[in-house]
Amino acid sequence: MRDGEALRVAVIGGGENAEHDVSLASAAAVVRAVRALGHDAVPVTIDRSGAWRDPEGFATSAAEAVALLATCDVAFPVLHGENGEDGSIAGLLTMAGVRFAGSPVGAGAVGMDKWVTKLVAEALGVRTASGRLLRSEGDAASLALVPPLVVKPTTGGSSNGVSVVRESAALVTAVGVALEAGRTALVEEFVVGREVDIALFRDSAGALRAGSTLEIGVAEGAVFGREQKYDGTASFTLPARITAGEHAEIESAARALYDALGCAGVARFDFFVTAAGVVLNEVNTTPGFTEASQVPRMYASVGLDYAALVGALLDAALGGNDPSSVATR
């Protein structure tokens, strides 16, 4: 922090999407941490209709919300999903001249799009599951992939719209479900392996700091779905039960992706560890951020507790993503 000075920190949560409640929980946790650090937390919420609400919960215009954000030293957005994590809030904050803890527009937009992320990963030599991009249910009829398959919206989060297809007859329906949750659908081969995640953030000194690897306990042939993510039944093992070589491969791939995507703040990288090697699942540039979420657990496991993690991310934000360099003031 700036010589121990108390900061005015805007914490932005909610959002006009299916991850609204998850975002509110993340924002509430960040507010608690900001206050525990001795700073002034300014909660700003986007409600389910897309309207802005001030710290007292009263509706306010977008212009008034931007004016409020501009009174803050730094913002900590935890808007998960579309119209937030996809670079939208980063663009708004940049144009408003407000520093923020998180990835810039490009990283958010690319990281949110699972198909484009696959293309970037493959270009870096990071393996992904074989897959196809579909724009309509009719496109599924000519698909050459053989079940089992995973069908998901390319821009969805929290496992919304995700289906496992074990018989070809179920594919069209699954694509329809995915398209209800996103503009396009991604159909991928079902990868059998252990789900292992890692998180990274670049600190105020420029060092890229990794949390512990985290292994998600799911039954063989199952997926880590929305219910398991938020009902408290998920099983996590830290560090993941993987070899030193597998750990090195995961961290190397995550570091390459963090830099190639242009990430800032904290990002989570989800992998499968298979008998044939490591396979990227997806990238989250605004991962779930309650005290019990995966990313805070990863950093707590290496000695950085929740409040300290929030403080480190604020420090990094104040040392980088200076909007004055790109915004017309």
SS3 19: coil
User: Angle at the Cα of 296 (from 223 to 49), degrees rounded to 5?
Assistant: 70
Q: Residue 8's CB: how many other CB atoms inside 10 A?
A: 14
* Helices (H), ranges, the chain: 20-36, 62-69, 88-96, 105-112, 114-124, 171-181, 226-230, 244-261, 294-300, 306-319
Answer whether 177's CB lies under 8 Å from 163's CB.
Answer: yes
Nearest to 263 by CA among 208, 308, 307: 208
| 329 residues of the chain, pLDDT tens digit each | 455 689 999 999 999 998 999 999 999 999 999 999 999 999 999 999 999 999 999 999 999 999 999 999 999 999 998 899 999 999 999 999 999 999 999 999 999 999 999 999 999 999 999 999 999 998 987 888 899 999 999 997 657 899 999 999 999 999 999 999 889 999 999 999 999 999 999 999 999 999 999 999 865 555 555 555 544 567 899 999 999 999 999 999 999 999 999 999 999 999 999 999 999 999 999 999 999 999 999 999 999 999 999 999 999 999 855 444 433 32
The CA distance from 258 to 267, in Å, is: 8
- Tens digits of per-residue pLDDT, 96-148? 999 999 999 999 999 999 999 999 999 999 999 999 999 999 898 788 889 99
CATH top-level class of 109-127+192-314:
alpha beta
Topology match between the domains 8-102 and 109-127+192-314: no
Cα 50 to Cα 27: distance, rounded to the nearest angstrom: 16
pLDDT digits (tens, 9 = 90+) for 233-253: 678 999 999 999 999 999 999
Pick the CATH number of 8-102 from 1.10.3210.10, 3.90.1170.40, 3.40.1670.10, 3.40.50.20: 3.40.50.20
Contacts of 78 (CB under 8 A, 6+ apart): 11, 12, 13, 23, 26, 27, 30, 286, 289
Give the pLDDT of residue 229.
52
**Which amino acid is located at 307 in the chain?**
A
131-189 adopts what CATH topology?
Dna Ligase; domain 1 (3.30.1490)
pTM > 0.85: yes
| Structural domain boundaries in the chain | 8-102, 109-127+192-314, 131-189
Q: Which of 289, 150, 128, 300 lies closest to 211, judged by CA?
A: 300
Instruction: Quote the CA–CA distance of 187 and 21 in Å, as a whole number.
Output: 27
